[in-house]
Amino acid sequence: MDVASLLRPWAEQAHSTISRELFDALEAVQGNDLLRRSLTDPSRSGEERGALARRIFSTALGDAATGIVELLSSRAWATEEAFSEGLESSAVVLAGFAAERRMGPEGLDTVVDDALGMQAVLEEDPELQQALTDARAPREAKLRLLDRVAPSLREEGRLLAEQAILTPRAHRPHRVLADWAELLAEVREGGIARVRYAGALDDAQVERLRGALSRLYGRELKIVLDEDRTLVGGLRITVGDEVIDGSVAARLNELQERIRA
């Protein structure tokens, strides 16, 4: 489902409040099996499911968020999980639209940058990630810690970071934020290429790399640079689930495997 196209009618009124309300709706749906089954029940018509969603959520959510949940509920979903994923994606995309409305065309990029920046912080510090997701820690304590370690997050980026650490999901927050950043990068008709390198890359090299990857994948890619001294030399590029490993470390490992064989 192309969530961005589906939600474009709400882009001009997008606000972080709407995104937050959609996350609240997601939490309600995930926490109530009967509600989730009712909103995805194939024996009911789309109109009936949409009307049910409006009756349930109109008193708790604003008009825009209620309208989005109604629209999603009226569509046919293969599984209940797919419906939940669609609702989550909608909340993330609305955060991107809110940043775009507030800051202009570069707004989406700022949310992607914030999500990737927070993802990197959590990935590099497992103890911090554990502290932020500890079920025994009070919510307010987690939010204070988030503000201490990432004080420069913009409004929408902070909202996504908050949701990633406070709401239990199948994956750890750093993985969730990476997925959300990728989703928002797709909304801007691009994608993310994470480039791990040893040594240094100058601006000209980065631009040549961007051009080569964009031609290879047929779309403009956002380049995210991460220095990695373990590589010795060369590059390790990740685009989605695909890895292009041109590092010296990878070639040495391959050589060692051949010697052992």
Q: State pLDDT tens for residues 29-69.
A: 999 999 999 999 999 999 999 999 999 999 999 999 999 99
Q: Smallest Cα–Cα separation from 125: which of 136, 113, 133?
A: 133
Q: Identify whether residues 232 and 244 lie together within a single domain.
A: yes
pTM of the model: 0.78
Q: Identify whether residues 198 and 182 lie together within a single domain.
A: no
Domain C-terminal end among 168, 189, 210: 189
**Domain range for 104:** 3-189
Domain C-terminal end among 158, 189, 220: 189
Q: Identify whether residues 199 and 91 lie together within a single domain.
A: no
Q: How many domains, the chain?
A: 2
Q: Identify whether residues 78 and 155 lie together within a single domain.
A: yes
Q: Identify whether residues 25 and 39 lie together within a single domain.
A: yes
Q: Identify whether residues 239 and 171 lie together within a single domain.
A: no
| 69 SS3 class | helix
Q: Identify whether residues 180 and 238 lie together within a single domain.
A: no
Contact 187, 4 (CB under 8 A): yes
* CATH code where residue 206 lies: 3.40.30
Q: Identify whether residues 183 and 196 lie together within a single domain.
A: no
Q: Find the mean pLDDT for residues 80-87.
A: 96
Work out the pLDDT band at 259, boundaries 50, 70, 90. very low
Q: Identify whether residues 184 and 82 lie together within a single domain.
A: yes
CA–CA dist 101, 96 (Å, integer): 9
Residue 156 CB-half CA count within 13 A: 29
Q: Identify whether residues 145 and 109 lie together within a single domain.
A: yes
Q: Identify whether residues 19 and 38 lie together within a single domain.
A: yes
Tens of pLDDT, residues 104-146? 878 888 999 999 999 999 999 999 999 999 999 999 999 999 9
Q: Identify whether residues 222 and 153 lie together within a single domain.
A: no
Do the strands 190-197 and 220-227 form a parallel or antiparallel pair, or are they unpaired? parallel
Domain C-terminal end among 173, 189, 205: 189
